[in-house]
Amino acid sequence: MIPYTQNFNLYKKISRDEAIKMVAFGSSSTQRFMCGMHWFDYVELGFKNCFSHKVGQFINSGVSNDSTVELLARFEGECAAYQPDLVILTVGANDCRLGHAPEFFESNLHRLRDNIRGLGADLVLQTFYPIDSERAHSWWLGIDKYVEVARKFAVQTDTPLVDTAQRWRPMRDLHIDVYRTLLRDLGHLNELGNMVLGLDLIRFFNVGLLMKDKQIDYCREGIVLQYMLDSLNRPSSATGPIPAAS
């Protein structure tokens, strides 16, 4: 994964010493419901370490079981109301669970993008991390179809994409025992998984943790696994030429 270099509006505001607002919008993969740090906590910490503790607000607006339908329904009250400068959108699993047609899912992605851009905010789309396919059953097995729709949507609309599904797939496929250390069940992250995803997002936004206060020591295990992902995604990897998420 390489840092995203587009000049997001929030970086312009930071340069003017104006407070920013970032919203994480999605379902259970976004909602904060466990003890320990969530991946969005790492994003907040990265920005505050890189810039200032006064850099702005980071609002988690994830609700478990939400599909694009529910996100659209609560958009005004739980996204637009915060007047965000940037929205991280992670969605698709529940559209799969509810049997929404891929075309319907894509149409709703366009509506969400239009709503977000209508606020003057930037959008970052994030794909769902790979599920434990050996233990998956029923609707879980269809998630990849919705991930592919999200990828194509990102290309067609020039939307920045954090393709966690692609980046984490080699670890899931080649080292399933290691990959399971990131999961609390077949489709949700535990504290370590949140750490690794958070570290990936910190890199994407080109911010970082401080060496002081032992932050790096706290993240040591996650950093090792992030480097493992880097290695598995290199063209020389045994999996073949798999490009890093961007």
Q: Read off the pLDDT of residues 28-48 as tens digits, 9 standing for 90 and up.
A: 888 888 888 999 999 999 999
CB of 165 within 8 A of CB of 197? no
Residue 21 has pLDDT above 90, yes or no: yes
Look at residues 139, 164, 151, 126 and name the one whose alpha carbon lies nearest to residue 65.
139
pLDDT of residue 141: 75
Average pLDDT, the chain: 89
Residue 73 has pLDDT above 90, yes or no: yes
Q: Give residue 122's Cα distance to chain centre.
A: 14
pLDDT of residue 215: 78
pLDDT of residue 211: 61
Q: Give the pLDDT mean for 141-150.
A: 90
Lowest mean pLDDT among 87-96, 171-180, 181-190, 213-222: 213-222
Q: What is the pLDDT of residues 48-68, one digit of tens each?
A: 999 999 999 999 999 888 999
CATH of 12-232, one of 3.20.20.10, 3.40.50.1110, 3.40.50.300, 3.40.50.720: 3.40.50.1110
Residue 5 has pLDDT above 80, yes or no: no
pLDDT of residue 35: 84
Q: Give the pLDDT mean for 153-158.
A: 96
CA atoms of 153 and 5, how far apart (whole Å) = 20
Instruction: Kindly indicate the confidence band of residue 245, based on its pLDDT and cuts at 50, 70 and 90.
Output: very low
Which structure tokens are listed for 175? 């080292």
Residue 242 has pLDDT above 60, yes or no: no
Share of the chain above pLDDT 90, in %: 74
Domain boundaries, the chain: 12-232
Residue 103 has pLDDT above 80, yes or no: yes
Instruction: Kindly indicate the confidence band of residue 112, based on its pLDDT and cuts at 50, 70 and 90.
Output: very high
* Phi, psi (deg, nearest 5) at residue 24: -95, 120
Q: Give the pLDDT mean for 124-141.
A: 83
Q: Give the pLDDT mean for 148-162.
A: 96
pLDDT of residue 238: 46
What is the sign, positive or negative, of the torsion defined by CA atoms of 222, 223, 225, 226? positive
Q: Give residue 85's Cα distance to chain centre.
A: 16
Q: Give the pLDDT mean for 115-144.
A: 87
Share of the chain above pLDDT 70, in %: 90
CB of 95 within 8 A of CB of 146? yes
Task: Please state the three-class secondary structure of the chain as a single string.
Answer: CCCCCCCCHHHHHHHCCCCEEEEEEECCCCCCCCCCCCHHHHHHHHHHHHCCCCCEEEEEEECCCCCHHHHHHCHHHHCHHHCCCEEEEECCHHHHHCCCCHHHHHHHHHHHHHHHHHCCCEEEEECCCCCCCCCCCHHHHHHHHHHHHHHHHHHHHCCCEECHHHHHHHHHHHCHHHHHHHECCCCCECHHHHHHHHHHHHHHCCCCCCCHHHHHHHCHHHHHHHHHHHHHCCCCCCCCCCCCCC
pLDDT of residue 142: 80
Look at residues 178, 183, 148 and name the one whose alpha carbon lies nearest to residue 163.
148
Instruction: Kindly indicate the confidence band of residue 217, based on its pLDDT and cuts at 50, 70 and 90.
Output: confident
